[in-house]
Amino acid sequence: MTERLKHRPATIPESHFKKLCLYWSNENVKQKEKQNQIMDSMKQEHAKEVNSLKSELQDVKQQMLGMQSLIKVWMQQNNSGMDMENLDVFFRSFPSEANNAQNDEGQCNEHSTTHASNPD
């Protein structure tokens, strides 16, 4: 503790700083701080993964839009017998933005398979 006292900030009275030093040396406090650091690290990793998945989802959505356009053109060129109105209805039957498992704010809806609410 004497080493810490040598580096005490001038704005903190010595009596208060001694109490802080005792607090910081408490094993329970040290363990809690270690747990907090682990939790913070896990939260950061989770946030990175969520952002990565959001990016991948956007890529997949763009690919699907491209495929829908390709199918429409192919069907028009091949006179498949299906009119474009029916094709648009068909494509709208796929999950849309409103039916995603999570909206942009990260809130879950009833279709979500992850982050389900606790039934308790």
Break the chain into its structural domains and give their ranges: 2-88
Say if pTM beats, i.e. exceeds, 0.85. Answer: no
* Predicted local confidence at residue 93, as pLDDT: 72
Tokens 């606790």 identify what position?
Answer: 118
State both tokens at 37.
């650091």
pLDDT at 108 over 80: no
Average pLDDT over every residue of 47-68 = 93
What are the beta bridge partners of residue 102? 108
Alpha carbons 10 and 32: distance in angstroms, whole number: 28
Q: Are 112 and 101 in contact (CB under 8 A)?
A: yes
